[in-house]
């Protein structure tokens, strides 16, 4: 294992310290916690998300005006504890309530729900949206139902924009539940990721192998096979997405190609270009596009393709400027 770290036990603490030191105009740290909050003043429903670290820039990179109010950084690939989430809720409460955006992993769901109960005892109105955009497998390691992956970032962006415009907790929660049903993702891996305290990759692929449907913690996908061209990879993933969306020529969608951490942007742009060409042949209109590393898996080589069904409001909210480190 070769990593630029000090003590493997301290990587998250040192990462959070470095993050807030590098970007004080965007974020600050709640003392004695691994919670990162907005450093500006605001008056709206607070949006709190988070999860295990190792997915940077998710989620702390999306804290700021127009997106999240706070991100809770758990240990690497480990759900944050209820008390840390509770501190995030308290630190960002402006008297208008809090919306929790939770990726569908058993530990995250349980701990965020416990924090919600603690906050409600303080008379803070809290509701939640559960993101389960990964259509690759129905049940996997750490989940009941589908996993929450890169599509979570689009949920942050859209609900963050709505919160900025003054929407209430019930309005955000109700809209969010509908929104996540129209965001779908499939990922692919070329190599595994190494958790610093473990010291070896979570899985190993042969030099000529890829795995379709792998999760952002290295959870198994649905098939391993010999490496394919970018076009063939895009063709398979788009086929999976089409089966879920059942789209028609003329429909409006967004296309988001996300890197897993070690894949060069060169390759992500090639994959995007092929996916866009396939969708053009389907007759779809792409009103939002994005390419880059937004929901990573440490140094995993791979990518995911996310699509979102758009209307005028979603298109507007996705394309609005925000003040965050990573968007």
Residue 231 annotated as catalytic: no
H/E segment holding residue 109: helix 106-121
pLDDT of residue 321: 98
Average pLDDT of the chain to the nearest whole number: 97
Q: Give the integer Cα–Cα distance in Å for 223 and 143.
A: 19
55 is catalytic: yes
Confidence at residue 295, expressed as pLDDT on a 0 to 100 scale: 98
Q: What is the model's pTM?
A: 0.97
* Cβ count within 10 A of residue 249: 9
User: Under 8 Å CB-to-CB from 312, ≥6 apart: which residues?
Assistant: none
What are the pLDDT digits (tens) for 191-236? 999 999 999 999 999 999 999 999 999 999 999 999 999 999 999 9
- The residue from 55, 59, 156, 231 that is catalytic is 55
Residue-level pLDDT at 139: 75
Domains of the chain: 15-180 (3.40.50.10440), 183-319 (3.30.1180.20)
Instruction: Work out whether strand 183-189 and strand 126-131 pair parallel, antiparallel, or are unpaired.
Output: unpaired
Q: Which one is catalytic: 59, 156, 217, 323?
A: 217
């Amino acid at each position: 294992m070769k990593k630029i770290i000090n003590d493997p036990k301290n990587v998250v603490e040192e990462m959070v310290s470095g993050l807030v030191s590098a970007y004080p105009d965007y974020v600050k740290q709640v003392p004695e916690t691994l919670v990162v909050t907005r450093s500006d003043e605001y008056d709206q429903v607070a949006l709190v998300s988070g999860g295990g670290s190792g997915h940077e820039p998710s989620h702390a990179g999306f804290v700021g005006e127009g997106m999240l109010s706070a991100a809770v950084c758990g240990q690497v690939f480990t759900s944050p504890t209820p008390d840390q989430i509770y501190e995030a809720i308290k630190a960002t409460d402006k008297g208008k309530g809090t919306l929790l955006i939770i990726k569908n992993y058993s530990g995250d769901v349980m701990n965020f729900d416990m924090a919600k109960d603690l906050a409600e005892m303080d008379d803070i109105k809290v509701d939640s949206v559960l993101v389960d955009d990964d259509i690759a497998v129905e049940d996997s390691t750490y989940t009941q139902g589908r996993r929450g992956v890169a599509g979570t970032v689009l949920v942050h962006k859209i609900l963050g924009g709505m919160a900025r415009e003054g929407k209430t907790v019930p309005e955000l929660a109700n809209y969010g539940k509908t929104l996540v049903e129209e965001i779908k993702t499939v990922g692919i891996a070329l190599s595994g990721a190494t958790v610093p305290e473990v010291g070896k990759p979570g899985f190993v692929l042969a030099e000529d192998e890829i795995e379709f449907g792998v999760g952002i913690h290295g959870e198994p996908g649905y098939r391993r096979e010999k490496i394919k061209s970018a076009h063939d990879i895009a063709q398979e993933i788009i086929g999976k997405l089409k089966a879920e969306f059942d789209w028609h020529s003329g429909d409006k969608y967004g296309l988001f190609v996300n890197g897993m951490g070690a894949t060069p942007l060169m390759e992500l742009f090639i994959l995007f270009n092929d996916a866009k060409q396939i969708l053009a042949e389907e007759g779809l209109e792409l009103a939002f596009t994005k390419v880059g590393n937004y929901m990573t898996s440490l140094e995993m080589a791979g990518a995911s393709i996310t699509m979102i069904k758009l209307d005028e409001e979603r298109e507007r909210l996705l394309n609005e400027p925000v003040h965050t480190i990573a968007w």
